Amino acid sequence: MYCTYLYESAYEAISKVVHIPDQDPVFGIKLVGSDALLQVERTPGGISIRLPDCELNEQAPIAHVFHMQKGEEAK
């Protein structure tokens, strides 16, 4: 259940970050009810968002990367 919540929250975060004005290329998103910090980076092709792999331990590096093109809606 934690993993599902984390991934669903990540997709919600993507849909919000897309609308942030172009300023700093990297953003951090803190999830409600979780210590996970998502790293969101603005790339030439759109938005890249990274989050911890729930199957790895807490000290594992950020493993999952979601890419989103400009104007694309979160699924």
User: Structure tokens of 9?
Assistant: 């929250």
* Domain, as residue range, for 38: 2-69
**75 domain residue, yes or no:** no
Split into its structural domains, the chain has a count of 1
**29 domain residue, yes or no:** yes
**74 domain residue, yes or no:** no
Diameter of the chain measured on Cα atoms: 35
Quick one: pLDDT at residue 35? 59
Quick one: pLDDT at residue 65? 45
Quick one: pLDDT at residue 66? 47
pLDDT tens-digit profile, the chain (75 residues): 345 555 555 556 555 444 444 555 566 665 555 555 666 676 676 666 665 555 544 443 333 444 444 444 444
**65 domain residue, yes or no:** yes
pTM, full prediction: 0.34
